[in-house]
Amino acid sequence: MVESEGVKIRSEKMEVDKLYYCLYQEKILLFYKEKNEMLNCYEITEKDVIDEVKRSQSEDIENILQRYVEKNNLNY
């Protein structure tokens, strides 16, 4: 959840192994919770990816982010 003070994460409401994202201060923040309740966070600062997400329909954003995760070998 993005608020005026910043991003607030309610990990207790997150599903395990589901990717969550938000756009905050010209960055994309990715979050996911592992089976052992460990919370993982990544920050995307690449302007081309951010611009593509901004231009996309909400149903396409997950695909864009999934391609980014795979391309960068992020543990998700």
Q: How high is the mean pLDDT in each 10-residue block of the chain (76 residues)?
A: 79 91 93 90 94 90 90 77
Q: At what angle do helices 58-71 and 47-55 cross, to 10 degrees?
A: 160
Domain for residue 18, yes or no? Answer: yes
Cα–Cα nearest to 28, from 47, 14, 11: 47
Residue at 33 is within a domain: yes
Do the beta carbons of residue 45 and residue 72 sit within 8 Å? no
How far apart CA 24 and CA 18 sit, in angstroms, is 19
> Is residue 9 assigned to a domain?
yes
For the chain, what is the domain count? Answer: 1
Q: Is residue 76 part of a domain?
A: no
Whole-number pLDDT of residue 1:
67
The domain in which residue 16 lies consists of: 2-71
Q: What is the pLDDT of residue 4?
A: 67
Residue 28 DSSP SS3: strand
pTM, rounded to two decimals: 0.82
